[in-house]
Amino acid sequence: MQMNESVVKSHAKINLALRITGRYPDGYHSLSSLFLEIELHDRLRFTPSDTYSLIVDGRDLTGDHSNTIYRAYDIIKKNFGMKQEWEIEVEKIIPPGAGLGGGSSNGAAVLRFLNEALGLGLRHDQLEKIALEIGCDVPFFIQGGLQFVEGRGEKLTTVNIDFPYSILLVYPGIHISTGWAYSQFSLTNRKEGYKLESLFSNGDIHWELFENQFEDIVFQTHPEVGKIKEDLVKAGAIYAGLSGSGSTVFGIYDSIPSARMAERVFTNYQTFVTLPTTRKTIKV
């Protein structure tokens, strides 16, 4: 590592539960979802430079102004000024278009880094407001952990419970557009938002109440993804579900060994065994 280089972890997430509760006049949908940040992460390396540049897995994306990294960088530069610029190198581990929030997490990682490096002193709520300009999932990643997410993604409630589980991710390599998934959803199927007290009570997690409303849409179009969920349950998952609009499917297990055992079923797919970031037990 060169002098003054900084390496920031950019974690993935899964949606433990997801309901679509309505649609705004501008076309965006409102959600009620439980986001869990997990140890699977990309790495962003920031090196002081005379000009901004972006290298992702060896590819020069400096001229790409559509990605979340540039947009986060540009918002901070335009609103607060920037005497020092950075070259950003990204090592991607989180599969793109997989429902794991990799792009959103990258944008939030840039906001957090620049806030500290430039000494801006922005509070979490201020960073979350800026993050919403980049994308609906970006605000969650400012603080991460386990959060109840509502509305467009701007209503965030930290959930303080013990989550002593391990997670097996199965990614079938199918890129599913979130926009497409929303376009296939009929508002006649919208539901009321979750009540936290119904999902968690007396220290218990009521898994039978968890669901992801994108599953009906995605599983009908891609039966292979639905089969992965079935196989995770057969392999002993306490709960299994689609993350976001997919195509990653996750299984919740009571230990790393049990998740590793289940992983053997999915040799034809890309898999990850990981933990919640709130459980600092292992580094993945």
Packing angle, helices 223-234 and 214-221, rounded to 10: 110
Q: Tell me whether residue 247 is in a domain.
A: yes
| CA angle in degrees (0–180, nearest 5) for 195-198-200 | 110
| 178 Cβ neighbours under 8 A, 6+ residues apart | 244, 245
Q: Which of 119, 135, 158 is the last residue of a domain?
A: 158
Claim to verify: residue 14 and residue 152 sit in the same structural domain:
yes
pTM of this structure: 0.93
Write phi, then psi, for 244 (nearest 5 degrees). 60, -135
Q: Which of 158, 178, 213 is the last residue of a domain?
A: 158
User: Which domain does 170 fall in, by range?
Assistant: 166-274
Task: Say how many domains are in the chain.
Answer: 2
What's the half-sphere exposure (Cβ side, CA atoms, 13 Å) at 53? 11
Claim to verify: residue 121 and residue 40 sit in the same structural domain:
yes
Q: Which pLDDT does position 284 carry in this prediction?
A: 24
Claim to verify: residue 226 and residue 139 sit in the same structural domain:
no
The CATH number linked to 178 is 3.30.70.890
Q: Which two tokens stand for residue 220?
A: 């009908």
Claim to verify: residue 191 and residue 146 sit in the same structural domain:
no
Claim to verify: residue 89 and residue 226 sit in the same structural domain:
no
Q: Which two tokens stand for residue 216?
A: 């009906």
> Which CA distances in Å does 26 have to 21, 64, 70, 229?
15, 26, 25, 33
DSSP strand pairing (53-56 vs 85-91): parallel
Q: Tell me whether residue 68 is in a domain.
A: yes
| SS3 readout for the chain | CCCCCEEEEEEEEEEEEEEEEEECCCCCEEEEEEEEEEEEEEEEEEEEECCCEEEECCEECCCCCCCHHHHHHHHHHHHHCCCCEEEEEEECCCCCCCCCCHHHHHHHHHHHHHHHHCCCCCCHHHHHHHHHCCCCCCCHHHHCCEEEEEECCCEEEECCCCCCCEEEEEECCCCCCHHHHHHCCCHHHCCCCCCHHHHEECCEECHHHCCECHHHHHHHHCHHHHHHHHHHHHCCCCEEEECCCCCCEEEEECCHHHHHHHHHHHCCCEEEEECECCCCCCCC
The CATH number linked to 154 is 3.30.230.10
Claim to verify: residue 241 and residue 171 sit in the same structural domain:
yes
Claim to verify: residue 196 and residue 253 sit in the same structural domain:
yes
The C-alpha atoms of residue 4 and residue 27 are separated, in whole angstroms, by 44
In a structure prediction context, what are the per-residue pLDDT tens digits for the chain, which is 284 residues long? 455 899 999 999 999 999 999 999 988 899 999 999 999 999 999 999 999 999 999 999 999 999 999 999 999 999 999 989 999 999 999 999 899 999 999 999 999 999 999 999 999 999 999 999 999 999 999 999 999 999 999 999 999 888 999 999 999 999 999 899 999 999 889 999 988 888 988 778 999 999 999 999 999 999 999 999 999 999 999 999 999 999 999 999 999 999 999 999 999 999 999 999 953 332 22
Q: Which of 99, 126, 158 is the last residue of a domain?
A: 158
The C-alpha atoms of residue 32 and residue 149 are separated, in whole angstroms, by 6
Q: Which pLDDT does position 283 carry in this prediction?
A: 26
Claim to verify: residue 178 and residue 265 sit in the same structural domain:
yes
Q: Tell me whether residue 239 is in a domain.
A: yes
Claim to verify: residue 152 and residue 18 sit in the same structural domain:
yes
Claim to verify: residue 106 and residue 233 sit in the same structural domain:
no
Q: Which pLDDT does position 202 carry in this prediction?
A: 78
Contact 247, 171 (CB under 8 A): yes
Q: Which two tokens stand for residue 269?
A: 């797919």
Q: Which pLDDT does position 279 carry in this prediction?
A: 36
Q: Tell me whether residue 268 is in a domain.
A: yes
Query: Catalytic positions, please?
Result: 13, 137
Strand partners, 155: 150
Claim to verify: residue 210 and residue 151 sit in the same structural domain:
no
Q: Which pLDDT does position 282 carry in this prediction?
A: 29
Claim to verify: residue 180 and residue 249 sit in the same structural domain:
yes
Q: Tell me whether residue 283 is in a domain.
A: no
The C-alpha atoms of residue 9 and residue 39 are separated, in whole angstroms, by 9
Q: Tell me whether residue 282 is in a domain.
A: no
Burial environment of residue 233 by CB neighbours within 10 A (0 to 12, 13 to 18, 19 or more): middle
